Amino acid sequence: MSSLIGKRAFVTGGSRGIGAAIARRLAAEGADVAIAYEQSAAAAQLIVAELRNAGRHAVAIQMDAASPDSVRQAVDGAAAELGGLDILVNNAGIMRGGPVEAMSVQDIDDTLAVNIRAVLLASQAALAYLPNGGRIISIGSNLAEQVPGEGLSLYSMSKAALIGWTKGLARDLGPRGITVNIVHPGSTDTDMNPASGPGSDGQLNRMAIKTYGRAEDVAALVAFVAGDEARSINGTGLTIDGGANA
């Protein structure tokens, strides 16, 4: 695996789960990688040590996705540490679920700030560094396309908004050959949604292939979209959910 040799990638929310798997896969493909974390400094440093042991240049950067200044500074810091940026992966996100009538203004503001605004600001900041042919990849959710139950409206709305952003930005950046895409994972076995968790039976029942996805599977798709062979994949969503939305 060497399709990303010489590339420099920044992965937000890269200290655990899908983000950590993406960082590992991009590094395995040859990229140098910066990861952003909010509070899990120790976990982030373990990922960095793992990537460095594999021969890649890697760094961890603290970022509060709810803070515009922190997002911009993290992108600038990643570019400074890596000597530029070729790939931005917007992975950081939060989920606030529950009945609509119980949503607080803080829940709404936090969700919009982290799941939408941070993606826009990171993408905007990255444009100062991305070369022609660069990549912007956001991690969405299959819940952006179908909402199978109650209590998901705020989260689903925030991920659905990224579809419009992806399509519009792909048009804006097309003249530079920069592709912009969104990957929609379904139920993926992580500490946030373990395959053995209390809601797993209902999620499995939706799937055509009744097996939770692996973070490594999502990472493999992201790595492909980041590579040269995906140069014509642009402005689109790629769903990896075992057929739950089929």
Cα separation, 89 vs 97, in Å, equals 24
Whether the predicted pLDDT of 2 surpasses 70: no
SS3 61: strand
State the burial class of residue 194 (Cβ atoms within 10 Å of its Cβ: 0-12, 13-18, 19+). middle
Give the catalytic positions in this structure. Answer: 155
Whole-prediction pTM value?
Answer: 0.96
Mean pLDDT on 157-165: 98
In which band, very low, low, confident or very high, does the pLDDT at 218 lie, cut at 50, 70 and 90? Answer: very high
| Nearest CA-CA partner of 122 in 173, 171, 178, 77 | 77
Determine how β-strand 87-90 pairs with β-strand 8-11: parallel
pLDDT digits (tens, 9 = 90+) for 126-138: 999 999 999 999 9
**The domain made up of 8-240 is a member of CATH 3.40.50.720:** yes
Mean pLDDT score across all residues of the chain: 96
Cα separation, 155 vs 144, in Å, equals 8
What is the reported pLDDT for 5?
97
pLDDT digits (tens, 9 = 90+) for 82-91: 999 999 999 9
